[in-house]
Structure 1
């Protein structure tokens, strides 16, 4: 391999690392600047410095602190408990959204009248703010675990349907004609042609929906307050008890969870789509 080929790849690999690190350093610097310069004296506790957030939320295993005589559990153990609850809600909601999304997209790709009938309602579901559904969901289902899962489904289903449908309908007409010449059935065409060709679009939708399912879990937990508290309730709890270091820690934990699921589905997609393309080209 020539040095002309090695050098660009080396710089590309460095860019993938240096870029995010540089932006992260700038973000932390702006955080400190906000606390020390932009916030006035009485408001400084509202934006605690990053090292206090890390110390109270991630480097302390368990603390008890409260306002007005109340005792509020905190520290890493409480964040991990909240993370576990939010992961359960997000995972179940995403799984149901994937199953429903694939089913709807498949039906819509096979019958134009189904697509025309369902598409306006899916767009309306996506366009309406999720907070508008909160009172309705709570009244019908109850303010419990099921309601939080329902919020995840509502938020996460549209990207799955939209991207899967786009992939299924974007197969080159020439491949369809080849299938027709070979007498392939509709099911054979769907399984052996459309779904494999739609994989890149499908995993793009899964990445988006995976991140949105975390948003749904946090938002749903913030409003539906029965059962074990997840990250959303911890954010609200710490805000009410003025434990701002721990509140920011819960927000950071939510962001890390969203990044983790986004990266995980991206990795799975690259493995599956990459191997499929390699088989096609070989």
Structure 2
């Protein structure tokens, strides 16, 4: 009689992978809770510092006053929202013009080395000139209304688009470019079907940077050009001159949130446009 002995399995069963929803939830928490902790610490330090200032607490009002005296005030709140709409309009127009000019500028420099050597130094010079030195000239030439504000916004937001687009266009894989040459593809065909798609990741890096700078440009232009519908810059100037600290801090917070929203928006667009194939090439 043969006795068959079955040895116990020494290999433990692998634990089941967590469901995709649980992984996404944990990833979201890991992303969100660190900045929330820092935010709570900032608010706590801010509140203590405001209390220690005593009679001079108007220099640093308590955080809750930003909402009670600023955003939720029946007069100040609508005023800030109207100014937010004007600043958003200027930033959107300026950013759109900067995108068109910046991409076109980079494409022209891509066509020949002499074009890059001739034009790129002026992009650097434009970036290095303090914008406050140009604001009086812009107002003198183009007036102090919407066109002047848009031009200030374009000048501030232009360089990151030019530099990042040019970098992306020049970073195309050499073998892919040679393949297009073997197929006798025309220059514009190569640009449209190879170089521009390959440059999208770098272009979106420039767009995200320029999106934040467009808010800065809109506020700077509005701060000095105070004609027409007031934006956040005009309100900041008025609140500063009248020593209305809670209202001033409220307008600064709104401007910062606008920049964050635009930055996140372009980040989401970047993931939708190039996220899958770009991540795959990096794997």
Question: What's the TM-score, normalizing by structure 1?
Answer: 0.89
Pairing partner for 1:23 from 29, 33, 38: 38
Match of 1:80 in 2: 81
Residue 123 to residue 278, structure 1, CA distance change in 2 (3 Å): closer
Shift of 1:4: 7.4
**Cα RMSD after superposing both structures:** 2.1
Q: Does 1:57 align with 2:90?
A: no
Alignment deviations for residues 79-108 of structure 1 (CA, whole Å, 9 cap, x no partner): 110001101110111111011001001111
- Unaligned regions of 5+ residues in structure 1, if any? 63-74
Match of 2:56 in 1: 43
* Alpha-carbon distance between aligned partners in 2 of 1:4 and 1:178, rounded to the nearest angstrom: 44
* Alpha-carbon distance between aligned partners in 2 of 1:278 and 1:46, rounded to the nearest angstrom: 47
Match of 2:158 in 1: 157
Match of 1:214 in 2: 215
Q: Does 1:3 align with 2:2?
A: no
Shift of 1:48: 0.7
Shift of 1:13: 2.6
Question: What's the TM-score, normalizing by structure 2?
Answer: 0.89
Shift of 1:259: 0.5
* Alpha-carbon distance between aligned partners in 1 of 2:82 and 2:57, rounded to the nearest angstrom: 29
Count, aligned residues: 267
Residue 2 to residue 178, structure 1, CA distance change in 2 (3 Å): farther
Residue 105 to residue 2, structure 1, CA distance change in 2 (3 Å): farther
Cα contact 2:168–2:199 (8 A) shared by 1: yes
Q: Which has the larger radius of gyration?
A: 2
Alignment deviations for residues 104-134 of structure 1 (CA, whole Å, 9 cap, x no partner): 0111111211111111111111112111111
* Alpha-carbon distance between aligned partners in 2 of 1:5 and 1:183, rounded to the nearest angstrom: 50
Alignment deviations for residues 26-57 of structure 1 (CA, whole Å, 9 cap, x no partner): 221221122123x3x34211111110111122
* Alpha-carbon distance between aligned partners in 1 of 2:62 and 2:239, rounded to the nearest angstrom: 16
Cα contact 2:201–2:278 (8 A) shared by 1: no
SS at match of 1:136: helix
- The residue correspondences of 1:1-282 to structure 2 (distance < 5 A) are 2-3=16-17, 11-37=26-52, 39=53, 41-62=54-75, 75-277=76-278
SS at match of 2:185: coil
